[in-house]
């Protein structure tokens, strides 16, 4: 693994622009479970097909019952804090080693750790909006309405249906995805951290970079196309890379 770490560090040094793509694997060290791990992944407990735009509009009662249970499992909104990997990436951005972080995560931990240029391509858990007038609200407002059995939760302004800002299966991609796509296309190097690269279209981003590296605990379908792969925890791998950056 030492040789692979050195190759990533050298690639960072040799690149004019480096972007980072993170997935659920970077937040597991903060106590948030990922989705596809064999024993602890959330998809072992929950059916991802129920977290879809179609299901939300078809049966909002079941969607919100299901969603509340999943939020409880994610433990987002509690005392979840950024971990070493989040802070290292924030420091790397500050030092000029990376230009931005693109994340599939909805937990907001990158921004909490101090990263400034963050593209949340699957949305953020802290926001909600009305599907009619597009007015935005904190998720806490939607959450309180659901707890009071107002399902679907209604917009205070126009009485339209409120929903989470998280990108659901079947949703159109948000503007941040297209901005992130442009960042990757301009990059010499993309470093993928903690992502299985199984969810499209985010999994197309590595193919847009001149070259990409993968840091993940388990194998991905993109390993053979990466110029280097490190099977390691995000925090440990990033710390070792930074030591080689000097």
Length, in residues, of the chain: 246
**pLDDT band of 43, cuts 50, 70, 90:** very low
Count CB neighbours of 128 within 10 A. Answer: 23
pLDDT exceeds cutoff 50 at 40: no
pLDDT exceeds cutoff 90 at 85: yes
> 3-10 long-range contacts, Cβ below 8 Å, gap at least 24?
4/228, 4/229, 4/230, 5/230, 5/237, 5/240, 5/241, 5/244, 6/244, 7/213, 7/227, 7/228, 8/191, 8/213, 8/215, 8/228, 8/230, 8/241, 9/241, 9/244, 9/245, 10/244
pLDDT exceeds cutoff 80 at 90: yes
For the chain, what is the largest distance between any 2 Cα atoms, rounded to a whole number of angstroms?
Answer: 59
Q: Return the pLDDT at 172.
A: 83
**Higher-confidence position of 211 and 163:** 211
CA distances from 206 to 89, 181, 215 (A): 18, 10, 13
Strand, helix or coil for residue 6: helix
pLDDT tens digits along 16-36? 999 999 998 999 888 876 554
pLDDT exceeds cutoff 70 at 169: yes
| Residue of 36, 86, 111, 122 with catalytic role | 122
Bridge partner residues of 127 (DSSP):
138
Segment 55-80 mean pLDDT? 69
pLDDT exceeds cutoff 60 at 39: no
Tell me what the pLDDT averaged over the chain comes to: 87
Task: Check if 122 is active-site.
Answer: yes
Spatial neighbors of 59 by CB under 8 A, at least 6 apart, are: none
Torsion over CA: 40, 41, 42, 48 (sign): negative
Segment 194-223 mean pLDDT? 93
């Amino acid at each position: 693994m030492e040789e692979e770490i050195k190759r990533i560090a050298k690639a960072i040094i040799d690149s004019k622009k480096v972007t980072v793509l993170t997935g659920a694997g970077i937040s597991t060290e903060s106590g948030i479970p990922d989705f596809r791990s064999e024993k602890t992944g959330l998809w072992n407990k929950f059916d991802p097909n129920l977290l879809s735009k179609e299901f939300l509009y078809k049966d909002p009662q079941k969607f919100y019952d299901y969603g509340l249970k999943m939020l409880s499992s994610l433990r987002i909104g509690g005392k979840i804090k950024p971990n070493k990997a989040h802070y290292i990436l924030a420091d790397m951005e500050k030092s000029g080693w990376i230009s931005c972080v693109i994340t599939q995560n909805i937990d907001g931990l990158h921004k909490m750790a101090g990263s400034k240029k963050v593209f949340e391509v699957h949305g953020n858990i802290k926001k909600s909006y009305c599907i009619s007038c597009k007015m935005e609200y904190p998720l806490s407002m939607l959450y309180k309405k659901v707890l009071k059995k107002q399902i679907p939760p209604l917009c205070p302004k126009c009485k339209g249906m409120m929903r989470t800002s998280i990108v659901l299966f079947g949703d159109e991609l948000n503007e941040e995805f297209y901005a992130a796509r442009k960042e990757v296309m301009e990059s010499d190097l993309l470093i993928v951290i903690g992502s299985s690269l199984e969810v499209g279209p985010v999994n197309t981003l590595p193919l847009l970079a001149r070259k990409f590296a993968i840091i993940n605990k388990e194998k991905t379908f993109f390993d053979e196309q990466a110029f280097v792969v490190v099977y390691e925890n995000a925090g440990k791998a990033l710390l070792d890379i930074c030591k080689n950056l000097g």
